[in-house]
Amino acid sequence: KSGFISIIGRPNVGKSTFLNRVIGQKIAIMSDKPQTTRNKVQGVLTQDTSQMIFIDTPGMHKPKHKLGDFMMKVAKNTMKEVDVIMFMVNATEPIGSGDKMIMELLEGNQTPVFLVINKIDEVHPDELFGIIDSYKNEYKFAEIVPISALQGNNIDRLLSTIESYL
């Protein structure tokens, strides 16, 4: 199995920390999935049963600025070209306008979206339920996976769940 995963989310939610933890190598990729220069390959995870190519989605990282029509189009087309969208959020912060903007952008798209709640090492389990509920109210996620990219909690489960979508 092989597929593309785009990681989106506000700055400082832990996207780089996650990638650094899971990525073993950066190599050029051959795939039958159509790719464009819009997508920047960030890293590749090669395992026994799968290859996951993590990419950056331009235009999804500027929550402070309203996206122009052109960038909206770019972001939406890019979403169609991946198998899974990982929307990463910070468990220690309430939903912000940046998060809401990203969820608006995701609205109506056909690609499965995972809500990845990072930094669970910093919150009490009871708090986590509240956070999950608040995001559930905003968007219908294919999966919701709490992790700690820093400590490595639940990363294996996240990866095997992604694999089941490839």
Distance of CA 70 to the CA centre of its chain: 22
For position 20 contacting Mg ion by CB under 5 A, the verdict is: no
For position 57 contacting ligand GDP by CB under 6 A, the verdict is: no
**Member of 1, 11, 64, 129 binding ligand GDP (CB under 6 A):** 11
Q: Which long-range contacts (CB under 8 A, 24 or more apart) does 127-136 make?
A: 127/91, 128/91, 131/89, 131/91, 131/94, 134/94, 134/95, 135/89, 135/95, 135/99
> Least distance (Å) from Mg ion to the CB of residue 139?
22
**Member of 81, 93, 121, 143 binding ligand GDP (CB under 6 A):** 121
The C-alpha atoms of residue 156 and residue 127 are separated, in whole angstroms, by 23
For position 12 contacting ligand GDP by CB under 6 A, the verdict is: yes
User: Choosing among ligand GDP, Mg ion, none, which partner's interface includes residue 116 (Cβ < 5 to 8 Å by kind)?
Assistant: none
For position 16 contacting Mg ion by CB under 5 A, the verdict is: yes
The C-alpha atoms of residue 149 and residue 151 are separated, in whole angstroms, by 6
For position 116 contacting ligand GDP by CB under 6 A, the verdict is: no
For position 63 contacting ligand GDP by CB under 6 A, the verdict is: no
